[in-house]
Structure 1
Amino acid sequence: MARPISPFPYKPKSYQNMREMLAFEIENTIRKNKLTASKIATKYPSVRDAHVKKILHGSGDELGIRMLFGIAEAIGLQAKLEISA
């Protein structure tokens, strides 16, 4: 008998928190500096207008972690991973 497949795969809470925090900081920086996708694309060519719109509408955490880190570095943010017990 096959194991049932969930339509909602498990994602660790710490991973989800990291994506949400990163998307939030990117959104703040984009709004503060009035950045557009074309300005960000000069340093990170994979970014599209739809990505920036998704971030500005509060859904940036739906983007992949690589995309978020790429955008963050392109706009001058540095992420620091801290692990504690």
Structure 2
Amino acid sequence: MATKPMTKTQLVAALAEDMGTDKKSASAALDAMVGLITREVSGGGAVTLPGVGKIYCRERPERMVRNPATGEQIKKDADKVVKMTIAKALKDSVNG
């Protein structure tokens, strides 16, 4: 069941077919959407894609981590991480 993920070229081609437009327009729409999501999430906001999920940024506090090679404890500064919560509709379609 392990299949390769869809590439951007394949995604653009499928999007163009579903939209009934050319690949250039589909690529521009995809790039605009990615730019919008990046801008919103990097600014601390969140984006909900209906039927897919919610993409948001979460802050992680400062913490102690272990170097697996040496076992040494190192203090890691606080940082931000991008998270995604999957929509129930998508979960149900995958499992059902």
TM class, shorter-length: 0.3 to 0.5
TM-score, normalisation: structure 1: 0.34
Larger Rg: 2
TM-score, normalisation: structure 2: 0.30
Instruction: Using CA pairs under 8 Å that are at least 6 residues apart, name the structure with larger relative contact order, 1 or 2.
Output: 1
Looking at secondary structure, tell me which structure has more strand per residue. Answer: 2
